[in-house]
Amino acid sequence: MKDRSLNMERPIPFLLIGLTAILSLFILYTLNFVTEHDIHQELLLIKPHKKEEDRCDLFNGNWVPDFKGSMYTNSSCATISTSKNCFRHGRKDRDFLNWRWKPEKCDLPRFDAKAYLDIVRGKTLAFIGDSVARNHIESLLCLLSQEEVPVDAYLDSEDRNRVWHFPVHNFTLKMLWTKFLVSGEERVINGSSSGIFDLYLDKVDENWGRELHGLDYVILSDAHWFFRQIYLHKGSNVVACVYCNVANVTDEGVVFALRMALRAALSHINQCKKCEGMVTLLRTFSPSHFENGSWNSGGSCNRTRPYSERKIDLGGYEWEMRRMQVEEIERAKRKGKRFGVVDVTKAMLMRPDGHPGAFWGNQWMQGYNDCVHWCLPGPIDVWNDLLLALLRRLPVRA
């Protein structure tokens, strides 16, 4: 019996060693997970809170059926531009409105115009970007006008720079147009526009640069103008190009060009001495959905329901653009200002059904489909659900 008892005890040290090893691996894994989670929370411009909804990753999820539909219609919103008013131009299907974005581990609340206007009371918010940024601001105007109808305070001769004021809340909303974020000029050849651009990385576009000091919130975006022939200048040197074939100049591609322009813009914001307390949120790349051709070769977007997550490609150029933008925001945050991301790329990769397509009423480009911008109302409205969720997490300091 004695020998048997001893034999039973012998495996115990080995068992303890095994359990210790497993426990150590679990602790190391847990620490690694927490580190990655904390980094993502910093990306959202928040610190971990006790509330589970404040810790939720808003940008990872799926579209689920929601038959409540849109919070406005093309009849109830007077500020929809004609090219985004898809129903006015003959779009018949409406099922694309009956979906909502559902993050994996929480719910994203529907837009609350009163709550939004309370947060930005007495503040100025500007969208800095191109026509997709204008698309975004038009969605926001439709949603806010359900609570307070804004006053149209300024319109330039090209309908690019706009200012709206909400007098009850003393809130000012601006659209500051820019093609490239940095200073850029189109080459004129034989008296005609060439479609070739020179970008100067040492200087931001003054159209938004001179307005920066008066802003409390900035929603920054850009991308679609970079898909053309571009030469990047730094000082007196041409340092790179896009879609070119020139001796002694390297074609670095669209992602590189956008990275350099975005880095210059974020650096300018960080160096702004009169911008203390300002929050800058970058809206990530908004994908197009041309099928059977590009915009100028018969491409179309006729789908009527979202893609599933299995259908989208997270290895394509859209995701590469988004990843670069997130990297540049992380880089800028180390300099001291407050930056964050409205990460719409994954959600919008799943929405080939949300574009105007043929229903944009453009008399000058008949036969071309718009698979870049988004119908109003439409899935773009979720951008403002996400924006409000982020603003709730981090209001501007007084």
Across the chain, where does the E strand assignment appear? 61-65, 99-103, 124-129, 151-155, 162-166, 171-177, 182-189, 192-204, 217-220, 230-234, 237-242, 279-283, 338-342
Least reliable range by pLDDT among 160-169, 356-365, 368-377, 382-391 = 356-365
Kindly state the average pLDDT of the residues 165-177.
98
* Confidence at 352, pLDDT banded by 50, 70, 90: very high
pTM of the model: 0.86
Q: What angle do CA 90, 148, 73 make, to 5 degrees?
A: 15
**Is residue 3 predicted with pLDDT exceeding 60?**
no
Average pLDDT value for residue range 10-19: 37
**Range scoring the smallest mean pLDDT among 166-170, 174-178, 245-249:** 245-249
Decide if 74 contacts 88 (C-beta within 8 A): yes
d(CA 242, CA 250): 8
Q: How confident is the model at residue 10 (pLDDT cuts 50, 70, 90)?
A: very low
Residue 320: CB partners within 8 Å, gap ≥ 6?
255
pLDDT band at residue 33 using 50, 70 and 90 as cut-offs: very low
3-state percent breakdown (helix, strand, coil) of the chain, nearest 5: 35, 20, 45
Terminal-residue alpha carbon distance, the chain: 79
Enumerate the active-site residues: 131, 370, 373
pLDDT, greater one: 54 or 128? 128
336 — pLDDT class (breaks 50, 70, 90): confident
pLDDT confidence band for 140 (50 / 70 / 90): very high
How far out from the chain centre does Cα 226 lie? 16
**Residue 294 and residue 298: Cα distance in Å, rounded?**
6
Which letter, b or e, does each residue of 20-58 get, where b requires 16 or more Cβ atoms within 10 Å of its Cβ? eeeeeeeeeeeeeeeeeeeebbebbbbeeeeeebbbbbb
- Which strand (E) or helix (H) includes residue 255? helix 254-270
- How far is residue 230's CA from residue 241's CA, in Å, rounded to a whole number? 5
Q: Is the pLDDT of residue 4 over 70?
A: no
Residue among 26, 27, 51 at smallest CA distance from 41: 51
Summarize pLDDT for 298-321 with one digit per residue, the tens.
999 999 999 999 999 999 999 999
DSSP-assigned beta bridge partners for residue 341? 282
pLDDT tens readout for residues 51-65? 555 678 999 999 999
Residue with the bigger pLDDT between 171 and 3: it is 171
Q: CA Rg, the chain, in Å?
A: 25
pLDDT score for 239? 97
Q: What is the pLDDT of residue 164?
A: 98
Does the pLDDT value for residue 42 go beyond 90? no
How large is the average pLDDT for residues 21-26?
A: 41
Residue 28: per-residue pLDDT? 39
Q: What percent of the chain has pLDDT over 70?
A: 85
Beta-carbon contacts of 361 under 8 Å, excluding residues fewer than 6 positions away, are: 82, 83, 85, 88, 89
Encode pLDDT of 250-281 as tens digits.
999 999 999 999 999 999 999 999 998 999 99
